Every structure is written in C-alpha cells, then in structure tokens.
Amino acid sequence: MPQLTIGLGVLLVAIGSIAFIATSFASWTALIPAMLGAVILVAGLISLKKQKLGVHLALAVAVLGVLGTSRNVMQLDALIAREAERPTAVFISTITFALLIFYVGFGIHSFVAARRWKTAET
C-alpha cells in the first residue's frame, strides 16, 4: 500500500501540473489534483515508517478528494454533449475522481485482507 500511495501522489501531482499548464496558468483550481497528490505523497512517505498512520491519512484525503471532485464529475454528460462551461475542469476532475475511487477501493480491500490475516493468525 505505501508504494501505491506514493505512486498515486506522484501521478496526481503530474495531472494537476499538466492541467495548470494546459489552462495557460489561468486558474489555480487546476492545481487541486496536484495539491491532493502532494498530501497523498507525503502520507505515502509517512507510511514507509508508520504504515497504518500514513495509509489512513492518505485514504482520508482520498475520500475528501472524491467528495470534492464529484460536483464536476456530475457534469460529465454536459462534457460529452460539448455543453460544459469548463470542459477541462470536468475532464481533470473525472480523471482525479476515478483514480481516487480506485485507491479507496484498493485501500478497503487491503484493510479487509489485513484483518482476515490477523484473525486467521490468532
């Protein structure tokens, strides 16, 4: 999980940076994926020493990121119909949302597997 957390953090920083450049540095909100990624990256680095703390922190940030990006994701139909007011924001938010959902799902699976392993051990 720590390596996945670090990888996700790096990927989100890259996505946010590319979005900021793609929007000609017009809006700092294009950096939101990068900000989420930076926090997740730091949590991933923490998880190398204190796995439980780091991964829990990263998952909490990921859940908040899912909630924060869901508003733009709901405009995906407008993007497909080419009627979205901010198409780049909808596109980047959808990518961020999908990555974070994947990470949260994988984190839950990891916690369940760890619990089963711990229970089987005793």
pLDDT tens digits along 54-90: 999 999 999 999 999 998 888 877 888 888 788 888 8
pTM exceeding 0.95? no
Q: Is 24 left (phi over 0), alpha (psi -120 to 50) or beta?
A: left
Closest CA to 68 of 97, 43, 44: 97
List the beta strands (DSSP E) in the chain. none
Higher-confidence residue of 57 and 24: namely: 57
The answer to whether 58 and 42 have CB atoms below 8 angstroms apart is: no
Give mean pLDDT, residues 22-37: 88
The tally of domains found in the chain comes to 1
What domain range is 109 assigned to? 2-121
Question: What residues contact 113, with CB distance under 8 A and at least 6 apart?
Answer: none
